[in-house]
């Protein structure tokens, strides 16, 4: 039985393309699982392959060396282990061969099922790795069947799906048709790798040119951008890294042989090949071919371009239902506005009027703002003058109030003094005391003059009152 098993082992590695190590691990795990089930064992099992020709297989039971055994199937005492080999220490694994003489029919069937399952898993991983590396690449397949508008294509080791969104609208798919498709994505599923392909992706057109044009494959001619409306029309921009090689001519081929092959593959889809240019004006003009462009006015900030054509070229530049303009916009990445000379002149005149109106409005607003600023400035000056006048008036009133208070105080003092005078001697003493009062430090000249005049007035009043009082007394 072991010899037959090894024969099958070698046939599987050759037919399925699975590595020897993967199959060996799968068979070891299968035999270990079969042993545990058949002999109702829960211990650690290790399977070892012997000679690959003879197919000898040995099964070993592994138990840990411990002081005290709690689970005999997983542990062995140090004393018992050293009986077999004195070199065992605590923590080592004790192995003993438990290879049964005959697994029996049930054990063999279990091993077979596990081996098949592991082989399938390994084969799925192998196929997935093979196709995941080919994402964004082109592949050839045969239509296998069509179900609910989904087309299933046989790629050899896996079946790919072509969903309705990735199909060309003018194509009919029948079993047996041979198609070139573009791999969009690869995913892992329970039934194996799921490969999604496309016939409408712009990458398909790019890859077809790489297959048909050696200069593109070698890197001499470079595809800069691709715009496509599947089944109807496409545009491709190319540039050359060699001055001696015409990029457009290399893609077209002799008498259009190269591009015609691609057109046939895409079921008659029209293809425009244009020269790429670093100057966006020239690039936009080339992208609108076959229409002849008179002038291009690009706006870098807005990424828009105004294109001027003659009236007889307007419909050709726009295309059927705007198709040519749409493809040119996709190819360049700019928004394109196509006008005739007459329409352009009207637009420029209208823009000039709008610009003049905006300028006049801005000037009017500026003048209005300046007038308001001057008005506010005049108002501020008037308010300041009024405020200063109020301060001065308030100061004068306070000064007058102080003078009046002093006069009232002086008259009150004189009156009091007058009532106390009894004779001329008292009058003389009072006048001398008033004239002998010292001046306050820090007073200005005007204050001194006012005090002097006030003092004189006080002295005269005092004398008059005193004389009157004396006359009355006498």
Local confidence band at 458 (pLDDT 50, 70, 90 cut-offs)? very low
Q: pLDDT tens digit string along 445-454?
A: 444 445 444 4
Taking each helix axis as running N to C, give the angle between helix 323-332 and helix 280-287, from 0 to 180 degrees, rounded to the nearest 10. 150
Q: How confident is the model at residue 408 (pLDDT cuts 50, 70, 90)?
A: very low
CATH class of domain segment(s) 2-126: alpha beta
User: Among 8-12, 77-81, 249-253, which is the least confidently predicted range?
Assistant: 8-12
Please tell me the least confidently modeled range out of 133-142, 333-342, 346-355: 346-355
Tens of pLDDT, residue by residue over 153-191, are 999 888 999 999 999 988 899 999 999 999 999 998 878
Burial code of 224-237, b = ≥16 C-beta within 10 A, e = fewer?
A: bbbbbbbbbbbbbb
Alpha helices in 241-340 (DSSP H): 247-252, 257-265, 280-287, 314-318, 323-332
Q: Which of 110, 114, 100 is nearest to 26 (CA)?
A: 114
Residue 2: what pLDDT? Answer: 54
Class of the domain covering 134-198: mainly beta
Task: With cut-offs at 50, 70 and 90, classify the pLDDT of residue 117.
Answer: confident
When mean pLDDT is compared across 64-68, 138-142, 220-224, 257-261, the lowest value belongs to 64-68
Predicted structure pTM score: 0.60
The residue ranges of DSSP E strands in 110-231, in sequence order, are 138-147, 150-154, 159-162, 178-189, 192-198, 221-229
Q: In what order do the strands lie in the sheet with 295-299?
A: 295-299, 304-308, 335-339
CATH superfamily assigned to domain 277-338 = K homology (KH) domain (3.30.300.20)
Quote the CA–CA distance of 169 and 231 in Å, as a whole number: 6
- The pLDDT, as a whole number, for residue 461 is 57
Spatial CA neighbour of 94 closest among 30, 33, 46, 37? 46
Query: What mean pLDDT comes out for the span 327-350?
Result: 89
> What's the pLDDT at 371?
78
For residues 75-100, give the mean pLDDT: 82
Q: What are the tens digits of pLDDT across the range 187-225? A: 988 788 899 999 999 999 999 999 999 999 999 999 999
What's the pLDDT score for residue 269?
92
pLDDT top residue among 205 and 433: 205
Mean pLDDT of the chain: 78
- Residue 454 has what pLDDT? 46
Looking at residue 412, its pLDDT comes to: 45
Q: What pLDDT band is residue 316 in, cutting at 50, 70 and 90? A: very high
Q: Where are the domains of the chain?
A: 2-126, 134-198, 277-338, 340-405, 421-473
Give the pLDDT confidence of 16-59 residue by residue, as tens digits: 666 667 767 777 777 777 777 776 766 777 777 665 555 567 77
What is the DSSP code (8-state) at residue 164?
G
């Amino acid at each position: 039985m072991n010899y037959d098993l090894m024969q099958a082992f070698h046939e599987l590695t050759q037919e399925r393309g699975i590595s020897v190590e993967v199959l060996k691990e799968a068979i070891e795990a299968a035999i270990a699982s079969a042993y545990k089930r058949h002999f109702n064992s829960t211990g650690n099992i290790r399977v070892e392959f012997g000679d690959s020709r003879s197919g000898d297989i040995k099964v070993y039971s592994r138990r840990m060396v411990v002081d005290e055994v709690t689970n005999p199937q997983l542990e062995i005492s140090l004393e018992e282990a050293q009986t077999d080999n004195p070199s065992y220490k605590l923590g080592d694994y004790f192995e003993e061969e438990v290879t049964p003489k005959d697994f029996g029919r049930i054990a063999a069937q279990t091993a077979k099922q596990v081996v098949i399952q592991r082989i399938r898993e390994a084969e799925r991983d192998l196929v997935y790795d093979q196709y995941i590396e080919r994402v964004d690449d082109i592949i050839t397949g045969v239509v296998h069947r069509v179900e609910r508008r989904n087309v299933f294509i046989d790629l050899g080791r896996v079946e790919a799906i072509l969903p309705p969104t990735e199909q060309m609208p003018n194509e009919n798919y029948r079993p047996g048709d041979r198609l070139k498709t573009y791999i969009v994505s690869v995913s892992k599923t329970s039934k194996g790798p799921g490969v999604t392909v496309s016939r409408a992706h712009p990458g398909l057109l790019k890859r077809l040119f790489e297959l048909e044009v050696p200069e593109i494959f070698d890197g001499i001619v470079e595809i800069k951008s691709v715009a496509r409306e599947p089944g109807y029309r496409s545009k491709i921009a190319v540039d050359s890294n060699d001055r001696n090689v015409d990029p457009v001519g290399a893609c077209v081929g002799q008498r259009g042989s190269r591009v015609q092959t691609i057109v046939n593959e895409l079921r008659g889809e029209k293809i425009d090949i244009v020269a790429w240019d670093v100057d966006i004006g020239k690039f936009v003009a080339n992208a609108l071919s076959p229409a002849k462009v008179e002038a291009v006015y690009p706006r870098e900030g807005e990424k828009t371009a105004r294109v001027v054509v003659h009236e007889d070229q307007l419909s050709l530049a726009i295309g059927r239902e705007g198709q040519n303009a749409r493809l040119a916009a996709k190819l360049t990445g700019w928004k394109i506005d196509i006008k005739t000379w007459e329409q352009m002149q009207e637009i420029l005149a209208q823009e000039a009027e709008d610009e003049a109106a905006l300028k006049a409005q801005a000037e009017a607003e500026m003048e209005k703002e300046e007038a308001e600023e001057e008005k506010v400035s005049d108002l501020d000056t008037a308010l300041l003058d009024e405020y200063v006048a109020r301060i001065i008036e308030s100061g004068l009133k306070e000064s007058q109030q102080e003078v009046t208070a002093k006069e009232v105080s002086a008259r009150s003092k004189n009156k009091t003094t007058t009532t106390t005078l009894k004779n001329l001697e008292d009058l003389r003493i009072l006048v001398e005391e008033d004239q002998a009062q010292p001046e306050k430090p820090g007073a200005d000249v005007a204050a001194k003059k006012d005090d002097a005049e006030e003092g004189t007035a006080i002295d005269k009043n005092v004398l008059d009152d005193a004389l009157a009082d004396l006359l009355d007394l006498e």
